[in-house]
Amino acid sequence: MASAHDRAVLQAIFNPTTPFGDIPGLNQEEELIDDDSGFDTELLKQVKELEMQGVSAAEAGDLQAALQLFSQAIQILPQRASAYNNRAQALRLQGNTAGALEDLDQAISLSGDTGRTACQALVQRGLLRRLACQDDGARADFEKAAALGSEFARQQAVVLNPYAALCNKMLSEVINKLRNPEVSGMQ
pLDDT in tens, the chain (187 residues): 455 555 555 555 545 555 444 444 444 445 677 788 889 999 999 999 999 999 999 999 999 999 999 999 999 999 999 999 999 999 999 999 999 999 999 999 999 878 899 999 999 999 999 999 998 999 999 999 999 988 988 888 878 876 665 666 677 777 777 788 775 555 4
**Gap between the Cα atoms of 187 and 180, Å rounded:** 10
Phi-psi region of 149 (alpha: psi -120 to 50; beta: other; left: phi over 0): left
Rg (C-alpha) for the chain, rounded Å, is 21
What lies within 8 Å, CB to CB, of 13 at 6+ separation is 172, 175
What is the predicted pLDDT for the residue at 173? Answer: 75
What lies within 8 Å, CB to CB, of 168 at 6+ separation is 12, 16, 17, 18, 19, 20
Which structural domains are found in the chain, ordered by start?
40-184 (1.25.40.10)
**Gap between the Cα atoms of 166 and 158, Å rounded:** 11
The pTM assigned to this predicted structure is 0.71
**Gap between the Cα atoms of 118 and 126, Å rounded:** 12
What is the predicted pLDDT for the residue at 6? Answer: 54
CB 135 within 8 A of CB 119: no
